[in-house]
Amino acid sequence: MGNINYQDFQKLDIRIGEVIAAIVPDWSHWVMKLTVNFGQELGEKTIFAGIMHFYKPEELIGKSFPFVYNMEPKKMGPEGDFSQGMLLAASSKLIKPISVNGEEVHDKPILLTLSEKVEPGTKVL
């Protein structure tokens, strides 16, 4: 993987968002649909995350995580929804792969947590 310069890194707007709703769409075999609050100034965004095989929607509601806030929207699913950001997570190798629609999955997303509570919309430096 190649290096990026500091100016490239500065293009990322990473913010803390609080999950206020989470569902698994009927059409999904991988992603969960999150409604994320980024505070009064930035508002809410819909963000899809490939975590449904490892987390339940109710485990996420009310919790805060880092998100890439300024991702280009990406169309998701047949209903015309768009993902407007990206949940940041670490990747951990599974002891035993799981099968998802006949495909072996070897990694589990590990959600990043904060050591202290901060307001939604806080910039990650």
Domain range holding 35? 6-111
Q: What are phi and psi of 44, to 5 degrees?
A: -105, 155
Q: Is pLDDT above 80 for 123?
A: yes
What pLDDT was estimated at residue 102? 80
- Confirm whether 11 is domain-assigned: yes
Average pLDDT on 4-15 reads: 92
- Confirm whether 121 is domain-assigned: no
Model confidence over 15-73: pLDDT tens digits?
999 999 999 999 998 899 999 999 999 999 999 999 999 999 999 999 999 999 999 99
Model confidence over 81-90: pLDDT tens digits?
999 999 999 9
Q: Is pLDDT above 80 for 122?
A: yes
Q: Is pLDDT above 80 for 1?
A: no
- Confirm whether 84 is domain-assigned: yes
Q: Is pLDDT above 80 for 113?
A: yes
Q: For residue 103, what are the contacts with CB-CB under 8 A and spacing of at least 6?
A: none
* CA distances in angstroms from 5 to 10, 11, 32, listed in the order given: 9, 11, 32
Angstrom distance (rounded) from CA 111 to CA 7? 27
- Confirm whether 125 is domain-assigned: no
Per-residue pLDDT band at 103 (split at 50, 70, 90): confident
pTM (two decimals) = 0.90
How many domains does the chain divide into? 1
Domain at 19, CATH number: 2.40.50.140
What pLDDT was estimated at residue 62? 97
Q: For residue 37, what are the contacts with CB-CB under 8 A and spacing of at least 6?
A: 17, 18, 19, 20, 43, 44, 120
Ordered strands of the 64-68 beta sheet: 44-49, 32-37, 14-23, 64-68, 86-87
What pLDDT was estimated at residue 41? 96
- Confirm whether 39 is domain-assigned: yes
